[in-house]
Structure 1
Amino acid sequence: MGKHAGPTRLRQRDTKSDTTSDTTGVVRVRPLPVKSTVRLRRPLEARHWHKPAFSAAVAIAVPDLALLALDRMDLVLYTSAGAMCALYGHNKPYAARARTVAWVVLSMIASLAVALVSSAFIGNTVLLVLIASALAAVHKMMCDATRIGPPGNLIITFISASAFFVPQPPGLIPFHLLLAVAGGAVAWLVCMAPWLVRPEGPQRIATARALEAAAGLLRAAPDAAGPRHATAAAVNAAWQTLFLVPARSAAKYTARARLERLLIQAESALSESAPSKPAAGARAADAARFDAWAHDLRRGRPLPEVALDAGQTAELAGIAADQAALAGTGTETRTGSGADAGSGQGGGVAGLRRPSPDHLRGFRPVLAQLRPGSPLLPVGARVMIGCTLAGWASMAIGSEHPYWAVVTAASVFQANTTLSWQRAVQRALGNLLGLLLFTALLPVIHTGHLAMVLLVLLFQIGAEAWIPRNYWLGSVCVTPMALLLTSFGNAMPAGVLVRDRWVDTVVGAVIGLICCVLVTNRRATDRIEAAVARVVAAREAADELLAADPPDDADLPNDADPPDSAGLPDDREVGWARDRLAAALVELREAVEVASGEWWQRALPAERVALTERDGHRTLARLVRRLTAPTLAA
């Protein structure tokens, strides 16, 4: 239903104003923003809204129209559980998307099974609210740990919480779960369908974002920290995307190799420092070239032929030789600068970059995020307590839909108190306007199920189109869509629906905010300390590798022999050091932004963070220069 999960970037001046001390014993109360809460973002940031929007609309339309033809619209909730999974995975390459959407479908089915079994065998509403809240906390922690991306935990929580309060005969549970599986299969097929048209689409977009960020860095002041952070994050994300792209055939290898060459060009912008920066005109020309490449990538045009310089070619050649030696295949490697450089026989992957050996894969990163002492545990506690209290308060008031209060409280809990405050205000405003829209459309809704299905599809598309502009604007569509989905299986007077929805929204938002303030995430500052330690360790390891490098031949005396290459770091090791340092810097910046939005928090070590980031980016620039001769100076 929308971009519900990812925390937005806090403005740099707000962070600085609230984190100017290293005194860890001081507790500060940070102001909560108002104007930025309802401000609309630029349309440029919402350029890809149509992909999840139309994917979900098609995935919902197929089973809904089938149920309409069979006159069984009371089963819409179960098919929608699987169909809504079409909102996930659109930022991943198709091989990884297939796995991601499959896991989301399985998670949805498992959550729905818990809800249906609970509904069938537990008649105590108080206990149902408690179980639904515990499940919502699990959804939040798992989605944050896996970094699943938009729409995060809210879709799974909405569907499962609704199912807790739907009367459920035990004998029909397998049939209803089978309907959800069918909806999930449709969602999986819809998500994978664009592969037939643009099989390289996701990795092209990730590379384009890195090029655009690098262009912004070139246009910014040489000492600007914001663009440098953004470029490092975009380049790191693009490499992680390319690491997920298989290269089992010559054609796939060639396509990925060309993207890697473009990404190396974007990464070279990080090697530029203020003392050796090129002329402003040269930087502007390179930025324009990066933007042009990014535009071609987004438009699906043929990949540009990018000639690498000597340093960049040497990097890929070194990677190819190392991987061929490790494989023991003796594969012949071509080291030219063309698109096929480094390709091997039999669709080998020699010459393509790979993540470092200590890069966690599979379930290990998730388990590492959920270990004791993790900053996700206080977030889970917030969700559990807030959703439970919101549901019980809704019951006490007399609402017939306490799960709406549970879902509202779950949606309020974001990465920190500031973002939670913004989400609470946005949801309340959007729900109020959405209820007014639903009331205005009642004459159309009463014409029949076909009109209701068409409105659901229209609202789904509208929600995805508007949520990137601001969450409250998307909620204007989400609210009537949720009411329509509820009305299919259990028709109620419109006045009761509107009243309960508004009351539950206010109750969930208020209690959610209270829990955010009272259940503070004091581990947010500890996360900064750990992130600083990781950056320092990665930088020191990189400095050791750089110190072991031989001097340039031009610096050697005429009668001196070149240094022995034994024991010197190869390009593969230096590349891994670069990846570790870049990832550590991205994690540090994210930790600072999360902690900066906590309303009741110790003063952050701003000076130490600034020094760590400065030294880390300087070492990162040296690593990039070590591996790639600066493109901008060519």
Structure 2
Amino acid sequence: MRLRRPVDIWHKPALSALAALAIPDLTLWALGRLDLILYTSAGAMCALYAHGLPYAARARTLPWVVLGMVASLGIALTAASLITSTALLVVCASLLAAVHKVVCEATRIGPPGNLILTFIAASAFFVPQHPGQVPLHIALALGAGVLAWLVCMAPSLIRPQGPERIVVARALEAAAALLRTEAGTGGGEPARVPHARHATAAAVNAAWHTLFLVPVHTPAKAAARAGLERLLVRAESALGGTGHTVEASAEDQPREARCAGAGVAGPEADRLGGWARELRSGRPLPEVVLSAVQAQELAGVAAEAPGPRRPAPGHPRGVRAVLTRLAPGSPLLPIGARVAAGCVLAGWASMAVGVGHPYWAVVTAASIYQANTTLSWQRALQRTLGNLLGLLLYTALLPLMHLGPLAMIALALACQLGAEACITRNYWLGSVCVTPMALLLTEFGSPVPATTLIADRWIDTVVGAAVGLACCVLVTNRRAADRIEVALGQVAAAEAVAFRLLTAGPAVGADDARDIGWARDRLAGCLVELREAVEVAAGEWWQRSLPEERITHAEQQGHRALAGLVRRLSAPTLAA
């Protein structure tokens, strides 16, 4: 329940969704057709996605999100127009919720994940519908989705490099935190170093993958990306103790050396933090970076920097990567089975209790399923508390709702903005705003007495959370430990390649530098994957014992090899 700092870009999806929702909502109000607001909201909510991607990649990704939303809505509306059995509609909504969960995890689309898709689709399954109305309603959702795409792409006209500058700034900040943590190991807190090192490796790895998505079709774009790459190399140097940091890993140094390195790490950490602030502010790249890029342009392409870096070959990307993650034996499949079973039973339990909105129980059950049982238990508590407080907020807002439709639209938009502002601090706090917004959408379509609406929502929340959590415990994810074994094998293979390159001597040309760069990217990605697999498996119950010693040894050896690769490549680049 503890509150965290909000995510640094929370305002971007919040304002995008606000604009994408406000335009169709006000248009429908002017036309006197607020009963259609659910369908336009389906497309407009797509504005919450893909804000961490560069604009070129965002332009390709958002249409898939819109198509997925429209297809889900079309399935739900068609089923609502043809199926009269509420129990069967619950089954259909639950199966679609499971598909949403598995596909969003496989594509790694990021927040808000499957939740928005499931909320809209599950609601649509229980909206009275005639087959002849379905095409119009789908067209409204598609039109609002196009508007959401335009809203999300509009900032590219002002700050075309905004997303990639932010991820590089995050890497610089993580590197600065690592340097400060390593400098403090002499004070008796060495246990914090592995966590800081993993966080830095993950941030740097994410930043490289983001820069790989940035096109370099023009000299200006190539120069801008080159400047960001040099800053990212500087951040990455903290992992290898290169450049202006100490010359070896903290765990390999005597205490006196670590204390001496603290005096060097402090100014470097401040420098990295200052560059991160400049990137976030939108100011031009630091002079030291611009000077280095200009020097390279005058001298020709250096051997150690053969043009923009590219991802290593041999790894599936795009649709192939998604299909690989969904192959038989995937650890995502048990999670999909949990969602399907939990949502079905939650919806049926809601029907048995006599609640008139079983899709709320379906959505509640779908929302609590996280990567493992421990996180799902936490999410169930957060969801229950947030919905209870949200119902109290909805009760307090009832007098304002009676002012008219325009006031209801304003309240719904305010709740949407509040949800995005709060949900990254903690899920329960965001749910306080999501709950009244969901009830308002229900009121636009078919008004229900407030007392009935509040009672149904509270009962569905408790039923959905309880039944969903019970299914989470009963449907175990035994494949979580298998994922660790796969990750250990990948780390071992990447370490072998790294040590072979390190023992081959210094890089002498562009080909050697490229091979070392690919080995570094592969090893960093494998280490991040191993740590994620360990954290997921550690939160599952009824698992075989985790190979703690093998994991610790693999991570230590992997980070040592990664530091060597970083030193090999970063030192000449920093010297330039």
CA distance 1:390–1:625, change in 2 (3 Å):
same
Alignment partner of 2:25 out of 41, 64, 68 = 64
The one-character-per-residue Cα deviations of 1:473-530 (angstroms, maximum 9, x if unpaired) are 1111000000000110111111111011000000000011101111111111111111
Give me the whole-angstrom Cα distance separating, in 2, the residues matched to 1:447 and 1:341. Answer: 68
- Look up the equivalent residue of 1:539 and give its one-letter code: E
Mapping for residues 307-326 of structure 1, pairs under 5 Å:
none
Give 1:90 shift.
Answer: 0.5
Alignment partner of 1:250 out of 208, 219, 230 = 219
Give me the whole-angstrom Cα distance separating, in 1, the residues matched to 2:405 and 2:298. Answer: 55
Alignment partner of 1:627 out of 566, 569, 575 = 569
Alignment partner of 1:95 out of 56, 60, 67 = 56
| Residue number in structure 1 paired with 2:444 | 488
Q: Is residue 261–residue 308 contact of structure 1 (8 Å, CA) maintained in 2? A: no
| Residue number in structure 2 paired with 1:497 | 453
| Residue number in structure 2 paired with 1:268 | 237
Alignment partner of 2:280 out of 294, 298, 301 = 298
Give me the whole-angstrom Cα distance separating, in 2, the residues matched to 1:603 and 1:176. Answer: 52
Alignment partner of 1:600 out of 530, 542, 550 = 542
| Residue number in structure 1 paired with 2:295 | 336
Q: Is residue 258–residue 339 contact of structure 1 (8 Å, CA) maintained in 2? A: no
More helix by share: 2
Q: Secondary structure at the match of 1:495?
A: helix
Give me the whole-angstrom Cα distance separating, in 1, the residues matched to 2:67 and 2:298. Answer: 40
Q: Secondary structure at the match of 1:435?
A: helix
Give 1:129 shift.
Answer: 0.5
CA distance 1:625–1:461, change in 2 (3 Å):
same
Give me the whole-angstrom Cα distance separating, in 2, the residues matched to 1:548 and 1:292. Answer: 37
| Residue number in structure 2 paired with 1:534 | 490
Q: Is residue 78–residue 180 contact of structure 1 (8 Å, CA) maintained in 2? A: yes
Give 1:569 shift.
Answer: 6.3
Q: Secondary structure at the match of 1:89?
A: coil
| Residue number in structure 1 paired with 2:324 | 368
Give 1:106 shift.
Answer: 0.3
| Residue number in structure 2 paired with 1:15 | none
Mapping for residues 164-563 of structure 1, pairs under 5 Å:
164-221=125-182, 224-272=193-241, 273-274=249-250, 275=253, 279-306=261-288, 336-337=295-296, 342=301, 351-549=307-505
Q: Is residue 227–residue 289 contact of structure 2 (8 Å, CA) maintained in 1? A: no
Aligned identity (percent) is 65
The one-character-per-residue Cα deviations of 1:522-552 (angstroms, maximum 9, x if unpaired) are 111111111011000100011112222259x
Give me the whole-angstrom Cα distance separating, in 2, the residues matched to 1:406 and 1:589. Answer: 32
| Residue number in structure 2 paired with 1:49 | 10
Give me the whole-angstrom Cα distance separating, in 1, the residues matched to 2:575 and 2:68. Answer: 50
CA distance 1:181–1:340, change in 2 (3 Å):
farther
- Look up the equivalent residue of 2:564 and give its one-letter code: R
C-alpha RMSD of the superposition: 2.1
Alignment partner of 2:525 out of 579, 583, 590 = 583
CA distance 1:340–1:105, change in 2 (3 Å):
farther
Q: Is residue 527–residue 591 contact of structure 1 (8 Å, CA) maintained in 2? A: yes
Q: Is residue 378–residue 519 contact of structure 1 (8 Å, CA) maintained in 2? A: yes
Q: Is residue 307–residue 337 contact of structure 1 (8 Å, CA) maintained in 2? A: no
Deviates more, 1:165-174 or 1:275-284: 275-284
Alignment partner of 2:2 out of 19, 30, 39 = 39
Q: Report how many residues are paired.
A: 553
Q: Secondary structure at the match of 1:368?
A: helix
Could you tell me the TM-score, scaled by structure 1's length?
A: 0.84
Give me the whole-angstrom Cα distance separating, in 2, the residues matched to 1:599 and 1:54. Answer: 40
| Residue number in structure 1 paired with 2:90 | 129
- Look up the equivalent residue of 1:544 and give its one-letter code: R
Give 1:350 shift.
Answer: 5.9
The one-character-per-residue Cα deviations of 1:395-439 (angstroms, maximum 9, x if unpaired) are 111111000000000000000111101110011001001101111
Q: Secondary structure at the match of 1:399?
A: coil
Structure with more contact order per residue of length (Cα contacts < 8 Å, sep ≥ 6): 1
Give me the whole-angstrom Cα distance separating, in 2, the residues matched to 1:527 and 1:47. Answer: 31
Give me the whole-angstrom Cα distance separating, in 2, the residues matched to 1:408 and 1:162. Answer: 12
- Look up the equivalent residue of 1:84 and give its one-letter code: M
The one-character-per-residue Cα deviations of 1:184-205 (angstroms, maximum 9, x if unpaired) are 0111111011111111000000
| Residue number in structure 1 paired with 2:74 | 113
Give 1:630 shift.
Answer: 7.9
Give 1:335 shift.
Answer: 9.1
Q: Secondary structure at the match of 1:570?
A: helix
CA distance 1:208–1:379, change in 2 (3 Å):
same
Give me the whole-angstrom Cα distance separating, in 2, the residues matched to 1:338 and 1:39. Answer: 50
CA distance 1:69–1:84, change in 2 (3 Å):
same
Give 1:340 shift.
Answer: 9.6
CA distance 1:341–1:550, change in 2 (3 Å):
closer
Give me the whole-angstrom Cα distance separating, in 2, the residues matched to 1:585 and 1:376. Answer: 20
Q: Secondary structure at the match of 2:543?
A: strand
CA distance 1:307–1:403, change in 2 (3 Å):
closer
- Look up the equivalent residue of 1:357 and give its one-letter code: P
Give me the whole-angstrom Cα distance separating, in 2, the residues matched to 1:94 and 1:419. Answer: 32
| Residue number in structure 2 paired with 1:34 | none
- Look up the equivalent residue of 1:154 and give its one-letter code: L
- Look up the equivalent residue of 1:549 and give its one-letter code: G
Q: Which runs of 5+ in 2 are unaligned?
A: 242-248
Give 1:441 shift.
Answer: 1.1
| Residue number in structure 2 paired with 1:4 | none
| Residue number in structure 2 paired with 1:142 | 103
Q: Is residue 73–residue 488 contact of structure 1 (8 Å, CA) maintained in 2? A: yes
Give 1:306 shift.
Answer: 3.0
Give me the whole-angstrom Cα distance separating, in 2, the residues matched to 1:341 and 1:49. Answer: 41
Q: Is residue 254–residue 340 contact of structure 1 (8 Å, CA) maintained in 2? A: no
Q: Is residue 212–residue 309 contact of structure 2 (8 Å, CA) maintained in 1? A: yes
The one-character-per-residue Cα deviations of 1:225-245 (angstroms, maximum 9, x if unpaired) are 011100100000000000000
